[in-house]
Amino acid sequence: MPSPLVNPLREGITNRLTPEPCTLVIFGATGDLTHRKLIPALYNLAAEGALPPALTIIGFARREKTSEQFRKELEESTRKFSRTPLNDELWAQFASSIIYHQSPFDQGEGYTTLATQMDAADQNRGTGSNRLYYLAVAPDQFPVILSHLRESGLSTTTPGSWARVIVEKPFGKDLKSAQHLNTLVSEVFPECDTYRIDHYLGKETAQNIMVMRFANSIFESLWDSNHISHVQITAVEPLGVEGRAGYYDTSGAMRDMIQNHLLQLLTLTAMEPPTSLSADAIRDEKVKVLRSLRPLRGDDVFKHVVRAQYTAGLIDGQPVPGYREAEGVPKDSTTETFVALQVNIDNWRWAGVPFFIRTAKRMPKGGTEIAITFKSVPPVLFNSSGEGLDENVLVIRIQPDEGISLRMSAKMPGSSLRIEPVKMDFHYGTSFGKATPEAYERLLLDAMSGDATLFARRDEVEEAWAFVDGIEEAWKTRCDDLAFHTAGSWGPAQAADLAARHGVTWRRM
């Protein structure tokens, strides 16, 4: 006989934790993120029946508008951005759970009325006093929102209920600010109820890194310095700053991409097998990788890191302006739009294996991938000619065209012995034709279910900042190392030199 506290009808229906009834409050509800990502993701979840029953969504923002207007705007944007077509009947039902709450973030009264609305939802819709707060606002708004949530009692819970907060990146701009931010959050929400979102972790292919490594026996046995020559992690795009100049110029590629997304991919690639699949077991191993990163400070930074900025050039045959010519960017900006760095992980598994990380804007094409290059075979037999055989390369493509490929050597047909590289290629889109869920769908559902596996823990964020801070500090001491490259090129010569010092060339994407 099943326990009366557990819904016995749930068993066998899904193999994931069931999200619990709750009220989701989105701060910054009129912003781009809400319209492009959050509401379309929630709608798709609703269509699949994956949302908890009685979910109430309250959009909290400063602009004057009615709930009706808000829902109408959301309908338009969801129609545009949803991965599945909008079903009018279903939308009407879903939208009935959305309420707009107009208030400045810094006025206590707005939170008092928010509490009243949430209590009403508990009474009328059975949301069980569970609260999920989504801070879809700039980080400078975090303190005021968090302090009001605490002062108004909205972060405290009654027995059997929970209050969680989802924090969007950037989590600070350096270690100090990240620690400050984390302290602010932790004064209001315990770490176990804090969900720091990094949407890269919600991508299917990022999740598949662990599956590939630990659900296949052939890879993990080769996954170390005995067999791997080097690793390249790349995330590049042809886009420029596109309206984000204000944020981007104070951030740069290092803070915008490497501190979070690319170091997260690095940890998934380099981590040891976790003791279990629990959130903390996995995050424990990821943190160990960050702690094992050899710090880059002072002169080492200029030996191991290349920063650059794009100048005017051509993308897809069309002229594009240089970074300093973009609207909102100072003419003398030294913000990097390209970073290439070589890092070492000083642990037993990875000693001596260089990891190359590269991110850039205005590249000839876009894509994110992890390329693991294996060591060459010994210089005997087929590799004795001195020309050298191509190494085996395992590529995990995160986006686009998600998939995995393996390069290996094969004999060309014919009477003479000629060996050429061939590629075994697995494409998600080819084998699994159906559209994969958006990262935000998975992440929102996980937060409602209390599964923090795909969210960054405080120590992960801070360790990543500690590593990046060393580089940023060195950069402040001089700026003559800033290189320039033409938009539409693959980066400056210094980046090629950095790789060449290890006998490596950057991969063509």
Partner 1 sequence: MSFIPGIPVPIGGIEKALGKLWEESGESKTRASLINLAIYNEKPGSLERNTEITRSIAGEHAMRAILIEADLKAEGSSAEAWITMHCYLRGSKGGSVCSEQICFQLAGMAAHSLQSVVFSHLDSDLPLVLWWQADFHLPVNAKLWRWVDRLLFDSRHWKNPKEQFGLIRQIAGLAEARTVLCDLNWARSLPARQALAAIFDIPGNLSELQLLRRLEIDYAHGSRTTALLLLGWLADRLGWSLSNPSANPEFRDAHGNIVCVELKEAEGSSISRMKLASENAEFHLLRESGSDLYVTTAQGRNIAASSRMVCAPREETREILLAELSRGGRHPLYTKAVNAVEELWA
| Residues at the interface with partner 1 (CB under 8 A) | 1-2, 4-5, 7-13, 15, 18, 20-21, 46-49, 52-54, 87, 89-90, 93-94, 123-126, 128, 401, 427, 429-434
Do 101 and 56 touch, CB atoms closer than 8 A?
no
Parallel/antiparallel/unpaired status of strands 354-360 and 419-427: unpaired
Q: Of how many residues is the chain composed?
A: 509
Confirm whether 199 is a catalytic residue.
no
Do 142 and 429 touch, CB atoms closer than 8 A?
no
How far apart are the C-alpha atoms of 471 and 297, rounded to whole Å?
A: 6
Closer of 52 and 202 to partner 1 (Cβ): 52
Q: Enumerate long-range contacts of 427-436, CB under 8 Å, 24 or more apart.
A: 427/401, 427/402, 427/403, 428/204, 428/205, 428/402, 428/403, 429/401, 429/402, 429/403, 430/403, 435/83, 435/84, 436/204, 436/402
Least distance to partner 1, CB of residue 167, Å: 27
Closer of 126 and 243 to partner 1 (Cβ): 126
Least distance to partner 1, CB of residue 89, Å: 6
DSSP type of residue 202: G
Least distance to partner 1, CB of residue 297, Å: 44
Identify which of 12, 15, 34, 36 has the alpha carbon closest to the alpha carbon of residue 25.
34
Do 387 and 379 touch, CB atoms closer than 8 A?
no
Do 152 and 112 touch, CB atoms closer than 8 A?
yes
Least distance to partner 1, CB of residue 126, Å: 4
Least distance to partner 1, CB of residue 205, Å: 16
How far apart are the C-alpha atoms of 499 and 344, rounded to whole Å?
A: 13
Residue type, 335: T
DSSP reduced 3-state for 300: helix
Closer of 389 and 448 to partner 1 (Cβ): 448
Closer of 94 and 506 to partner 1 (Cβ): 94
Closer of 94 and 171 to partner 1 (Cβ): 94
Residue 59 CA to chain centroid, in angstroms? 24
Parallel/antiparallel/unpaired status of strands 163-167 and 455-456: unpaired
Sign of CA dihedral 140, 189, 16, 290: positive
Least distance to partner 1, CB of residue 269, Å: 26
Identify which of 205, 56, 167 has the alpha carbon closest to the alpha carbon of residue 452.
167
Least distance to partner 1, CB of residue 68, Å: 20
- Residue burial 48-71, b: 16+ Cβ < 10 Å; e: rest: eebbbebbbbbbbbeeebebeebb
Closer of 124 and 376 to partner 1 (Cβ): 124
Q: Which helix (H) or strand (E) holds 61?
A: strand 56-61
Do 103 and 62 touch, CB atoms closer than 8 A?
yes
Closer of 39 and 178 to partner 1 (Cβ): 39
How far apart are the C-alpha atoms of 372 and 329, rounded to whole Å?
A: 36
Closer of 84 and 494 to partner 1 (Cβ): 84
Closer of 33 and 47 to partner 1 (Cβ): 47
Q: Which helix (H) or strand (E) holds 480?
A: none
How far apart are the C-alpha atoms of 395 and 509, rounded to whole Å?
A: 11
Least distance to partner 1, CB of residue 423, Å: 12
Least distance to partner 1, CB of residue 6, Å: 8
Q: How far is CA 251 from CA 241, 242, 256, 312, 337, in A?
A: 11, 14, 6, 21, 10
Catalytic residue among 148, 261, 304, 485: 261
Active site residues: 261
